[in-house]
Structure 1
Amino acid sequence: MKRTGLTDAEKKILVDLAWAVIREGVRTGNNRMEGKKPSGDRFLQKGASFVTLTKEGGLRGCIGSLVVHRPLWEDVAANAWNAAFEDPRFSPLDISELPLLRLSVSVLTPAQPLSFASEEELLAQLRPGVDGLTIRAGGRSATFLPGVWEQLPVREVFFRQLKLKAGLREKGLPVGLYAERYGTEECD
């Protein structure tokens, strides 16, 4: 799978950007991006990312983009804000939580549609620990980043939980299921 080609220095810049957005947000309540744009052509290229926040080993926020639609730096900044303050599963982040947080930025590689006629064929194509997976069927969709394999290392369980996340309750392969995989470059 194609890599995004980020250097270690570029990864650090993206993580620092995400932290800057979050720290300003808890301090002022504002989501201002002026003055936060990093220099360098790589950050101006369009990209898709997820920002994941964990606290004491548990998820505290995770928001991202599956579709490339804005410059990478802007995508990371917006997703950092949304993970900290707009994730509907959690209350907005409080300043007292900052010392307990771990932040990760995942920059997505281009998605690859998967072709399959059965659940077994789909599962056989998945690479645990490597592939993120997005599924769509019946107007519902969900995705798991590659890091989810750490909690769900068995293909069948990974897929079953992803179907549940999408609200697809039927057993087996939902009618008309579309699936695509993608990779990420992790910035910690």
Structure 2
Amino acid sequence: MATQAHCAYCFESLTASLEKRPGLSLPQVEALWNKYNAEPLTTEALDTPDDSDLLSPPNAVDPSRKPAAISRLLAPSPATTSSSSVQSTSSTPSGISEASSAVSKSSSQSSIVSEQGSMEASPLFVTWNTVTRSGEKRLRGCIGTFEAQELDEGLKSYALTSAFDDTRFNPISSRELPTLECAVTLLTNFEPASSPLDWSIGTHGLRISFTHHNRRYGATYLPDVAREQGWTKEETLVSLMRKAGWSGRKDDWKKVELNVVRYQGKKVDLGYGEWKEWRDWVEEEIEDEEEEE
């Protein structure tokens, strides 16, 4: 499942690119994010030995137990194997994406899971929104993939692609950062729907493909889209077909033979302000450690 640390990593990747500096890796961001948000240790927690103090929260119960130093958290992490190219890229308004062909073998496998149970790879989407002073969210870029991606490389790649290469928008600039919100959706549980209406609003995303007048069409909506727009199932399908390029009468949608795959994925978001507070804390921790040395 997506986490706010994933969103923080997307912000880190974007700002590092804009500032032309090296960015933190996903493991580093996750470790620092967990440390920043850690609750004080309880007596029960202390009774359970931990193999590593990498993510240990600040010491509040046992004065002799020290949290991992920021310098250790920022130590170079092992290189991550990644694909040499990004595949099945899709861009979409409000999480909408054009998609062609049936679900591939890699996308039907919802994720790759390590022996420890942590998700290492997944199909994913990264969405950038602009948040107005009144709290209204406006899409600023959204691109993702149905091919399972190792998260360190995949989130970074699509954070930048959705920020700079969504052809519906100009590339995101530094001055826009304070208005941005990042949302990450990791896609899981791909399965064929028994009928076009065999899915639940707010639970399932849809990937459709169909042929009309000898032309092939395809598109997708992320799980949150229908609920956010207040659409019925039929309205969602018609809108999705329109997005794919279908121009028939809306009442004729049932005459089209749709291939529908449903999937799941909970969207998690993070505002720039929250990310900036965390990033400032990281910098302060580094400065404090340097002064102590």
Q: Structures share a fold, TM > 0.5? A: yes
Equivalent-residue separation in structure 2 for 1:131 and 1:76 (angstroms): 22
SS of 2:122's equivalent in the other structure is coil
Contact 2:224 2:267 in 1 (8 A): no
Match of 2:128 in 1: 53
The equivalent of 1:162 in structure 2 is: 240
- Correspondence 1:33-52 to 2 at 5 A: 35-38=24-27, 42=118, 45-52=120-127
Q: Does 1:140 align with 2:199?
A: no
CA deviation digits over 1:68-127, x for unaligned, max 9?
2x31222211111111011111110011111111111011113111123xxxxx22x221
Amino acid at match of 1:107: L
| Residues 66, 152 of structure 1: alpha-carbon distance in 2 compared, 3 angstrom cutoff | farther
Equivalent residue in structure 2 for 1:111, among 190, 195, 201 = 190
Mapping of residues 1-188 of structure 1, within 5 Å: 4=1, 11-28=3-20, 35-38=24-27, 42=118, 45-56=120-131, 57-68=137-148, 70-116=149-195, 122-123=196-197, 125-138=198-211, 139-149=216-226, 150-170=228-248, 171-173=252-254, 175-188=256-269
Paired with 1:86 and 1:173, the residues of 2 have a C-alpha distance of 35
3-state SS of 1:92 partner: coil
Count of matched residue pairs: 169
Moved more, 104-113 or 175-184: 175-184
Distance in 1, Cα, partners of 2:203 & 2:152:
24
Aligned-pair Cα RMSD in Å = 2.2
Structure 1 residue runs without a partner (length 5+) = 117-121
State the identity %.
Answer: 30
Would you say the 8 A contact 1:13–1:38 is kept in 2? no
The Cα of 1:175 is off from its aligned counterpart by 4.2
The DSSP-based 3-state class of the residue aligned with 2:234 is: helix
Alignment TM-score, normalising by the size of structure 1: 0.80
Tell me how far apart the structure 1 counterparts of residues 189 and 199 of structure 2 sit (CA, whole Å).
16
Unaligned runs of 5+ in 2: 31-113, 132-136, 270-293
Tell me how far apart the structure 1 counterparts of residues 190 and 207 of structure 2 sit (CA, whole Å).
Answer: 9
State how far apart, in whole Å, the 2-side matches of 1:51 and 1:101 are.
13
CA deviation vs aligned residue, 1:133-173 (integer Å, no higher than 9, x gap): 01012322111111112114311111111000111223223
- Rounded to whole Å, the distance in 2 between the matches of 1:143 and 1:174 is 20
Q: RCO higher in 1 or 2 (8 Å CA, sep ≥ 6)?
A: 1
Q: Distance in 1 between matches of 2:15 and 2:139?
A: 18
* Separation in 2, partners of 1:110, 1:82: 25
What TM-score results when the alignment is normalised by the length of structure 2? 0.53
Give the C-alpha shift of residue 174 in structure 1.
5.9
Mark the structure with the bigger radius of gyration.
2
